[in-house]
Amino acid sequence: GVYRFIDSLPDWNPEDIPAIQWEREIQCRVRWHEKNGAGLFSKHRFYIWDGENRMLAPVYNPDPITLDKLYLLEGQKEVAVKNTKGFLLGKTANNVLFYGDRGTGKSSMVKALANAFFEDGLRLIEIPKKYLDQIPQITSLLSVRGMKFILFIDDLAFDNNEEKYTALKAALEGGIEHKPSNVLLYATSNRRHLVKESFADRKGIYSDNPDDEIRARDSLQEKLSLADRFGITIIFSSPLKKEYLQFVCKMAEEENIDMDQTLLAQKAMQWEMAYNGMSARTARQFINWLKAEKD
């Protein structure tokens, strides 16, 4: 039975069995987890900050957009990729403001960067605007992680909300607590001056009291210069007709839509006039509609 089986086994020399290099194995595993994360961070690339529960919530169906699908934005991509690569390599990198008209690809580029550099240990965390005052808590939470994080604020603008404005300003400039080196802030906006200017802001400028005038000017300048506190501003312009039709043609080719080019252009122009104007987003919406019509 059992003894006969044991007796049939060959004699082993312990010296023939390679010893496990425990120290080297542990170091390899530590390096892997530093780059790829552990637990939640090893599985997901996009997260949303849940300010009610003070925790990160993974995005289970992230936008799959890739950099090669962002057409006619080569200059913008070059700047964004260079800054992000430097960040991942441990070099000094800048917070970035992606500024331009709606539908021009600002948010898509931030998401595409997260997709492109996921394997390099980059994770994207979207912060709803109402939770901007929790940025210090978020950065403190992330500072103990070995990975790199981009805090993403989409469609950034302020309507004289002093508390949220002050919180973002502190995050960009660095307050008492220094911003960790593994965290950057990327934001999109279609407003060049991120804080809405009101008549009340200018009222003191025309005061007969010199002190009121100085305070009003300083306050107004402080608010209007918030965008300058981003190290890099990447500008996205609305496409011209020629560029818009290039978007349409490239997307139609991707989706295997076979249509006469003149007719395609005619329908695309009718679509943009009826809906949202010329933009990459409008081109995508038109192609989605055209594809549904063909199916």
Does residue 220 sit in the same domain as residue 203?
yes
Query: Among residues 275, 248, 269, which one has the least CA distance to residue 259?
Result: 248
Domain-embedded: residue 65: yes
Measured CA to CA in angstroms, residue 195 lies from 134, 159, 214, 233 at distances of 19, 6, 19, 16
Q: Model confidence over 120-145: pLDDT tens digits? A: 999 999 999 999 999 999 999 999 88
Domain-embedded: residue 104: yes
pLDDT value of position 203 = 45
Q: What is the mean pLDDT of residues 162-171?
A: 74
Sheet containing 122-126, strands listed edge to edge, beginning at the edge strand earlier in sequence = 55-58, 46-50, 122-126, 148-153, 183-189, 96-100, 232-236
| Domains: count for the chain | 2
8/265: higher pLDDT: 265
Q: How confident is the model at residue 215 (pLDDT cuts 50, 70, 90)?
A: very low
**What's the chain's average pLDDT?**
82
pLDDT value of position 127 = 97
CB 232 within 8 A of CB 97: yes
Domain-embedded: residue 7: no
Q: From its phi and psi, is residue 106 left (phi > 0), alpha (psi between -120 and 50) or beta? A: alpha
Domain of 252, in residue numbers: 241-294
Does residue 119 sit in the same domain as residue 252?
no
- Measure the CA–CA gap between 185 and 230, rounded to whole angstroms: 9
pTM of the model: 0.76
Q: Model confidence over 62-103: pLDDT tens digits? A: 999 999 999 999 999 999 999 999 999 999 999 999 999 889
Domain boundary among 191, 209, 236: 236
| Least confident span in 6-10, 101-105, 198-202, 291-295 | 198-202
- Measure the CA–CA gap between 223 and 227, rounded to whole angstroms: 9
pLDDT(42) > 50: yes
pLDDT value of position 192 = 66
pLDDT value of position 225 = 66
- Percentage of the chain lying above the pLDDT 70 cut: 71
